[in-house]
Structure formats: C-alpha cells, structure tokens
Amino acid sequence: MKKYIGIDLGGTNVRAAVITEEGEVLSQIKSPSYAQEGRERVLANIKELIRQLDGWQECSGIGVGVPGPCDQKTGSMTLSTNLPGFAGYPFVQDLTEEFGMPAYIENDANVAGLAEALVGAGKGLPVVEYVTISTGIGGALIVNGKVISGKHGFAGEIANIIIDRSRKKVNYLAAGAVENEASGTAITRKGREMMPELNILHAGQVFDLAEAGNEEAVQIVNQVVGDLAQMFATIAAVVDPDIFVLGGGLMKSADKFLPKLKEMFDEVSHEALHDTPFVVAELEEPGIIGAAMVPRSHEN
C-alpha cells in the first residue's frame, strides 16, 4: 500500500504525517509553524519535521495544505496573509529538490474536500462539493478525485457569493456576500446586534436560543438557513454535484438547521437538483489527511 507525507501548515502550528492511500495516519508530529520568524525558519522546520517521521523515505510524494489560494503552475501560494514571505515562493520546487519525490501545494479547504472525496463521506462519487461553514465559509470542488483549482487558484472560494444585494456591506467582501451573512462570525454578530442584553459568544448559542423559542434568535436562524440554501442552489446550478459534504464548526449544530436547509434548498433550486444529498463530513482530521491525498490525486 502506498504512503504519502501530508503537511498541514497554518499561521500558528504545523503538522506532518505519514498517511496511507486509504487515509490511515501511521505517524504524526506537531510543532509551532514559526510563521512570524520568516520563510526560511518555516521551511527549515518543515524539513526537520519530515525527517523525524517514521518511514518518510518510503513515501511516494508530499502534499502541503496552506491557508490561501495557490498557483498550481508555479507551485506557490498566490496570497499568504498568515505566512509572510510565501506568496510567489516556489514551495513545490524546494520540497521536491530537498526530498527527491514529487511535492504539491493546495489550499486548506481544497485538501479537506479532497480528503472527504477520496476517503470520507464522498468516497466513490465523481463530483463532490465540499463546503466548510465555520468562522468563515469556504468550498472545494472535487471531480473524479482531483481538485478543481482554476486559473488563479480561486475555484471554490465561495465566500463572496452574493445572496442578497440589499444587505449592508460589512468588510472587503461584497454587500450580501454569504460569508458575511451566514458564517459563524456572522451569526454571532447578528446575535449581539439583535440581543444586546445577552452575552452571545458564539453561533451555537443563537441556535440554542432559537430552539428554546427566542423570537430574535429564530429570526436570525431562519434568515441564515435561507441564505445558505440560496448559496447551495447557486453552486448546484453551476456544478450539479453528486453530493454536498458539509464541514466546519457550524456542523456541531447541524441537527438544528440541516433538515430546514434541505427543505429551503428545494424551494430555490431547480427540481432536477432536489435529490442532491447533504451530508456532514466524516473525517476528524481532514486537513492532514487531505494534504497527503494531494500527491495521490496527481497519480491518476
């Protein structure tokens, strides 16, 4: 059975692991990423972590998941807000030359989606749309076991899908962008605005209040679910996936909104799309497993 090296690189921590082609983690190590100490420090640390992994020499490739869009032609990050100095740097070439095996880089949402498509909830299906709803909203389109990245690496960047142009502008995203209306951050913001007398700390509280009958919370949840339904209907009209796989922190409250989401999706989508299943992501470690799946996906 083939094995791959997966690197889950973030602005705070980095994990490296040896993982089988079926997604089994054989060995794993974690470290601070040292992102604020510069690119050379980050790279030196990653290389040392790889060499500490049991059996790394037996692996067939290296995959790196990073927080930002990537240019597959140059093997580099397009934007690197959380990893200063990495935009445009030939990350893939560096690792390939260092370890003598093919290396690849991919956006962290894409690697999570790839993991779910190859060894998780979407295994065996040709077109998998992975959507993560947490602090923000992200997506990944996996077709026949391969990530669709697009010309600029922005394919799947669904946060800026506009669900209602009449909404107020919140930040750099467009007015009515779904991330600013239906993400965990948005739900918390709306809860604080509409229920200032309550100490709203996270989106889960709003769902709990709605379940208990709080009118303001019910209003927020209904609007959020409707906004998500419109987002999914828009995506479905473009890619017509075999399945929607939903990940992210908001899935902790999935039982409180997923049935209603599917119902509202059917109201705003084409009738032919109504049999599209919505399922919660299966994997506990999609980031690190997905990073290892990237070199596997390039072998087919």
What mean pLDDT comes out for the span 234-263? 95
What mean pLDDT comes out for the span 48-69? 95
Looking at the structure, tell me whether residues 154 and 94 fall in a common domain: no
Looking at the structure, tell me whether residues 106 and 196 fall in a common domain: no
- pLDDT at position 134: 92
Q: Which domain holds residue 187?
A: 124-280
Residue 119 lies in a domain: no
What mean pLDDT comes out for the span 280-298? 95
Looking at the structure, tell me whether residues 152 and 290 fall in a common domain: no
Looking at the structure, tell me whether residues 271 and 131 fall in a common domain: yes
User: For the chain, what is the domain count?
Assistant: 2
Residue 51's CATH number: 3.30.420.40
- pLDDT at position 154: 83
CA distance 207 to 129: 25
Looking at the structure, tell me whether residues 152 and 78 fall in a common domain: no
pLDDT digits (tens, 9 = 90+) for 189-247: 999 999 999 999 999 999 999 999 999 999 999 999 999 999 999 999 999 999 999 99
Share of the chain above pLDDT 90, in %: 90
Q: What is the mean pLDDT of the chain?
A: 95
Looking at the structure, tell me whether residues 249 and 101 fall in a common domain: no
Q: What one-character-per-residue DSSP string does 154-215 give? A: -TT-GGG-BS-TTSPP-SSSPTTBHHHHHSHHHHHHHHHHH-TTS---SHHHHHHHHHTT-H
What mean pLDDT comes out for the span 258-266? 96
Listed residue (157, 151, 121) closest to 139, CA to CA: 157
Looking at the structure, tell me whether residues 208 and 239 fall in a common domain: yes
pLDDT digits (tens, 9 = 90+) for 140-179: 999 999 999 888 878 888 999 999 999 999 998 999 999 9
Looking at the structure, tell me whether residues 149 and 197 fall in a common domain: yes
Read off the tokens for 33.
């990423």
CA distance 146 to 300: 9
From the centroid of its chain, how far is CA 203? 19
- pLDDT at position 26: 97
* pTM metric for this prediction: 0.92
Looking at the structure, tell me whether residues 262 and 130 fall in a common domain: yes
Q: Is the pLDDT of residue 300 over 80?
A: no
